[in-house]
Structure 1
Amino acid sequence: MALTIYNKISILQLAFFVPSLIVAGILSYRHGFRRSSGWIYLVILSLMRIIGASMELATISSPDNTSIAIGAQILQNIGLSPLILMLLGLVTRSYLAMSEKNRPSLPNARILRLLQLAVIVGLILSIVGGINTGNQVSKELVDGSPISYTIADESKAGTALMIVGYALLVLSAVALLLRIGSLPQGEKRLLIAVFVALPFVFVRLLYSALSIFDTSNANFHQFGGSTDAGYYVLGMCTVMEIITVIALEAVGLTLPYVPHNERGSILNPNRAVNRLDTYGQPLNEYPPSNNQYSPRARQGGSA
């Protein structure tokens, strides 16, 4: 049986996103698993692509299993949200790395958190909408009817939130770029990497918008599209995601490792006075001036 374009895309995704998952795990460990760090979304995207590609390839041996095919398509469609969340997390990291006096008034930490929440809501709506649309397609396949479906309102609302999230992400990144001189050297590289990734994420967003709002164009149909539909997925989705991940992971690997107990203060210099060593002594007073923090003193010896 000859491989379809979607099968070939899945093989490419497995070949790239399996090692990408390993790198993403290393970056998350080195720089933090918090949402504001951004790296955790690389892990989520890689897992989405690995699972989705595996489901797509499983249709080769189980062509009549519509649930697997629909599940793979849903995972393909929701891959945009981790990309936007990842960039929002890295922009948040850059914002926190600035001292308070150098931070722009907009965006602020609260707005960036709200943006992340809005995109997460968009992700949830996209999943619900994808399931509803998939149920329509599944019913028609079981009945032997030609594939015809309407885009669920949840999918439209989810994509709209993605568009708003991306637009505000760009504005936030530009506001920080205007003050890039206030960033540590490593964070400057990271912010530049965000700008490198933005055009590729835009192309990925454009595909999602067209597939949801331009139902007349068979090249962007989620199910039962034209014979060229797979090539649009390859060029506007898969390749864009791969380039984005390469750019961000490459820069992430150049950032110095920061111990877990120091990350909060490194990303926010205003908290430096609250940093403590392993014996509870503030690091700005290190070495300890009080014998109670000395290991030898606590063991009964002289400091």
Structure 2
Amino acid sequence: MGLDTRGDISVVELVVYIPLGLVAAYLIIRPGSLRKTGWFYLMLLSIVRIVGSILHIVTETSANPSVGLFIATAVLESAGLSPLMLSTLSFLGIVVQESPMEKTALVNYGFIGLHLTNMVALGLATLGGIKLGNAQNQDDVNSANTFKRIGVILFLVVFVLIALVHVYFWTQKSKIMKYRRMLLAGISCALPFLLTRVLYTVFSAASPTGIPGSATPPPTNAFSQFNYTTGSWAIYFVMSVLTEIVVVCIYLFCGMKLPLSQDYAIGKNISGFDSDVELNKDAHQPLM
């Protein structure tokens, strides 16, 4: 069996995410800081997309694909949004390094809460995907969709809060070190694409789903074109695949090009900082 359009998209993802994953891995092992979690999440996303693409290709080219392949492919598709959100949170944490905001309750407890909410969203979306793959009747499908939709709503809540935190940091930009302000600008560039990616997930979760393996087609509604399995491949490619790749490329570009360690070399000589304070570079561990 040959590949359909969705399979061709999987080939594109495979080709693109292999080098992106290698760049993320390089940034992890690159000498510099202990704050490597952002790059780890991007590498994790690359692995998820590579494995998911391979499974999708195997599913389409196999004469008798197992139900497990379908379930694994669907779960990995929904799981990719979580590391993308976590990487954004990690980079926001880097932005406020050594600023007066770094030790505030808003940043410390707020970021912990966002991380936990993101993980709960991932767990619910994954559980929904597994239950959907094993659904035997419409009641099972409805139950699976309930878990999935709650998880997706939580992803949307996390994004909204990330966007608000990002705006708050801009209001405090005079207290942020020079190159970290540039990283914040990179996050600003990525957020519209991340929003599009999140909206696709929301619309996809709102689309009707039929019983797996049933000859009866699923019902239709206004969101049917956003269904990951039966919807428009063009919408999926633009709103999900392409936007995700753009976000990853923006973050990797910032990681490769921004000399964040120079913030420590030049000191805190910016508005809101004491220019006479000498930073201990070894103690504070810059990103790069």
Same fold (TM over 0.5): yes
Instruction: Give the Å deviation of 1:183.
Output: 2.2
Check the 8 A contact 1:32/1:39 in 2, yes or no. Answer: no
Alignment correspondent of 2:213: none
Task: Give me the whole-angstrom Cα distance separating, in 2, the residues matched to 1:33 and 1:231.
Answer: 40
Give the corresponding residue for 2:113. 114
Residue 231 (structure 1) aligned to one of 231, 234, 238: 234
In structure 2, what is the equivalent of residue 132 of structure 1?
131
Residue identity matched to 1:252: G
Matching residue of 2:169: 176
1:254 aligns with 2:253: no
Cα–Cα, structure 1 residues 108 and 68, in superposed 2: closer, same or farther, change >3 Å?
same
Asked if 1:218 corresponds to 2:221, the answer is no
Q: Are the aligned partners of 2:124 and 2:148 in contact in 1 as well (CA < 8 Å)? A: yes
Aligned equivalent of 1:93: 94
Q: Is the 8 A contact 2:17 2:49 kept in 1?
A: yes
TM superposition score normalised by structure 2: 0.79
* 1:163 is aligned to 2:156: yes
SS of the aligned residue for 2:3 comes to coil
- Structure 1 segments, 4+ long, off by >6 Å, are none
Does the 8 Å contact 1:104/1:176 carry over to 2? no
Matched with 1:244 is: 247
Are the aligned partners of 2:23 and 2:252 in contact in 1 as well (CA < 8 Å)? yes
Number of residue-to-residue matches in the alignment:
256
Within 2, Cα distance between the matches of 1:64 and 1:272? 62
Aligned to 1:107, the other structure's residue is in SS state: helix
Distance 2:241 2:171 in 1: 31
The Cα shift of 1:184 comes to: 2.3
In structure 2, the CA distance between the partners of 1:105 and 1:119, relative to structure 1 (3 Å rule), is same
In structure 2, the residue matched to 1:123 is 122
CA, structure 1 residues 63+126, in 2 after alignment: closer, same or farther (shift >3 Å)? farther
> What is aligned with 1:83?
84
What is the CA-CA distance between 1:166 and the residue it aligns to? 0.4
SS at match of 2:64: coil
Flag the 1:63–1:75 CA change in 2: closer, same or farther, 3 A.
farther
CA distance in 1, matches of 2:68, 2:74: 10
Amino acid in structure 2 at the alignment position of 1:8: D
Unaligned residue ranges in structure 2 (runs of 5+)? 209-220, 269-273, 284-288
Could you tell me how far 1:179 is from its partner in structure 2?
A: 1.9
RMSD: 3.0
**Residues 214 and 7 of structure 1, relative CA distance in 2, 3 Å threshold:** closer
Change (3 A) 1:149 1:109: same
Please give the per-residue CA displacement for 1:217-253, whole angstroms capped at 9, x wherever unaligned: 3212244x24xx2222111100001111111101110
Residue by residue, what CA displacement relative to the aligned partner does 1:118-151 show, whole Å, maximum 9, x if unpaired?
1011111111111111112xx58xxxxx9x9434
